[in-house]
Amino acid sequence: MHDAKAIFAYQVVPGTDEILAFTEMSWLARQEASQHIAGLKAMDASVEAGIAIYKVGLKDPSLSDVVTVLNHRRMRERLTQTIERVELMS
């Protein structure tokens, strides 16, 4: 069973944290990141920087936060307490 207050994420663009894809479990983040790397390599995109995997600690959201997130995609800062890199895949 995983910690309910933590989720995992990986970089969509290698080497930058501007766009992250989120998953519920670390193994799923690694699996999706690995598939993403393979897809980028197939398109001859650079993956030299690697793709970081993060453990994301979540704050307790208010109902207002949940509504805001449902209405706007870029509300990471409002709901995350920490974003800690736990792995770099290449």
Domain boundaries, the chain: 6-89
Exposure letters 3-31 (e unless 16+ CB within 10 A, then b): eeebbbbbbeebeeeeebeebeebeebbe
The tokens describing 69, both together, are 């997130």
The answer, as to whether pTM is greater than 0.85, is no
pLDDT digits (tens, 9 = 90+) for 32-79: 999 999 999 999 999 999 999 999 998 888 888 878 777 776 677 777
